[in-house]
Amino acid sequence: MTHRTMRDFLSAVEKKGLLHRIARPVDRMWEPAALVKWMYQALPAERRFGMFFEKVLASDIPIVTAALGANTATYAAALGVEPDGINDAWVKACRNPIPPKVVDKAPCQEVVITGKDVRLSYLPIPVWTPGKDKGAYLTTNTVTRDHDTGIQNMGVYRSMVRDETNVVSNLGPGRNGFVNTLTWTTKGKVAPIAWVIAAPPAVHLATVASLPYGVDEITLAGGVMGEAVNMVKCKTVDLLVPADAEIIIEGEIHPGETDMEGPFGEFAGYMGPVDRRPVVRVTAITHRKNPIYYGYTSQMPPSESTTIQSLTNAGILFNALRNRLGEVSVTDVFIDLTFGGNMGHAIIAMKPTYPAHSKKVGRLVAAMSSVKRVTVVDEDVDIRDHTHIEWAMNSRYNPARDTVLIDDVYVRIDPSARSATSQNTMSSKVVCDATLKVDAGPFSLPPKEIMMKALDLWKEIGLPEFEIPKRAKLRIDRS
Ligand SMILES: Cc1cc2nc3c(=O)[nH]c(=O)nc-3n(C[C@H](O)[C@H](O)[C@H](O)COP(=O)(O)O)c2cc1C
């Protein structure tokens, strides 16, 4: 079971040693971000942890970051499963979505601030690339709603604090959140918008799923939790938000009101360009008593953003391939955690059943997702092990025969194509089919029985103990 509140989750990961509290007061303008950058840049994934900054200068509200996406272990804990059960949990959630339940009273509205009392500096919103970002940024779940259908959407769209009551939100063209706001503003109406800070963990992890327009991520979060997410009506705008969240910011987008947004350190590792984006007039801040502020760490990968986006979207893709497209020969999907689920590298394991089946699946993945590279391997490869994938690429992939290049792909954030000053970018995609297509003969390892006898011998001699990696197991099983 996943946790019902962010607080419960934070206590649970703290008990597991996956969350560190920092008691020394910190300056939100640079210290939390710079410290967490060291963690992602210097520590191997298995040694990373969530950071809880208990005291923030000039604020009564603590800041938490990296707790959901420090590594696969914290992500799995947020999802309420073991690390090897992540994809299956998403398949289950996709197949059993649960609509939210509307409640009247909500913890997230224990304190309500509206009108002239609204000041964004009340919240400890951090600067994430100190010395380079334009200012403090909200990096959390955003709620919008389609004017005509009433269906809500959740996504994370970084949003720049412009002043005490206005935010410029990077609602990018084509994004579901942006499309929702257009359904209001093109009719000359004010679009409602809200940010949800420190919601139940399942809501955070579902929010970054790339789902078709018109599918509300909150139903997926319900599927993860196995129960409806409680939602409450906002105080000043007509939207529903998770009742158990710590903090809600409500706002309005007035037709034609835009301003320059950025620069901001993007998840691809470079500073993003400045562009015109919608302005949000903040109409209310509501929160629990003694709230916790949660902000995602992104910028230079790997980061919390790349971890959660990759792990969520791998599960969503796995489900789509098997259960929506009927590609049941696909046995596993992984998206490399070092570059983000949106435009990184997807690795697909499958049991091809007819000639060029693997190429077809690779092309499908390239077309239906935003990933730039797709590698398809046989099911006897551990797709979470770089060395095993490299071996498959070197031994089973013949570049002239097994590569599909897809040209003329518009990608908004591809530093290999976009100049530092422009958003215009035409990139491309590649599918590498590293499944075995010829009979290459038996593996050059002794047969399994000899290897297992040698394992007993290893132990008898007293050589250093080790855990058998999945890569070795898969190979020995076939030897
Ligand atoms: C920390 C963080 C910041 C993000 N910032 C943006 C952003 O500014 N604009 C954007 O289009 N996507 C951004 N994303 C990715 C989207 O949240 C993600 O692709 C989501 O699925 C979009 O929702 P949608 O498909 O419903 O539009 C961000 C993700 C994270 C984790």
Question: Nearest C-alpha to atom 7 of ligand 1 is from which residue?
Answer: 157
Provide mean pLDDT across the span 3-10: 97
What pLDDT does residue 376 have? 98
What digits encode the pLDDT tens for the residues 30-72?
A: 999 999 999 999 999 999 999 999 999 999 999 999 999 999 9
**Hey, which residues does 192 pair with through a beta bridge?**
252
Question: Nearest C-alpha to atom 15 of ligand 1 is from which residue?
Answer: 156
Residue holding tokens 């309500």? 112
- Of 412, 401, 411, 345, nearest to 373 (Cα)? 345
Q: How far is the CA of 155 from the centre of ligand 1 (A)?
A: 5
Q: How far is the CA of 470 from the centre of ligand 1 (A)?
A: 33
What digits encode the pLDDT tens for the residues 334-372?
A: 999 988 887 899 999 999 999 999 999 999 999 999 999
- Of 349, 245, 354, nearest to 292 (Cα)? 245
**Hey, which residues does 59 pair with through a beta bridge?**
56
What pLDDT does residue 418 have? 80
Question: Nearest C-alpha to atom 9 of ligand 1 is from which residue?
Answer: 157
Instruction: Calculate what percentage of the chain has a pLDDT beyond 90.
Output: 93
What digits encode the pLDDT tens for the residues 199-229?
A: 999 999 999 999 999 999 999 999 999 999 9
CA–CA separation, 129 and 269 (whole Å): 11
What pLDDT does residue 172 have? 84
What digits encode the pLDDT tens for the residues 79-95?
A: 999 999 999 999 999 99
The structure's pTM equals: 0.97
Question: Nearest C-alpha to atom 18 of ligand 1 is from which residue?
Answer: 208
For ligand 1, residues with CB inside 6 Å are: 139, 153, 155-158, 170, 172, 175-177, 208-210, 296, 298, 305, 308-309, 342
Average pLDDT for the chain = 96
Question: Nearest C-alpha to atom 12 of ligand 1 is from which residue?
Answer: 157
What digits encode the pLDDT tens for the residues 385-414?
A: 999 999 999 999 999 999 999 999 988 788
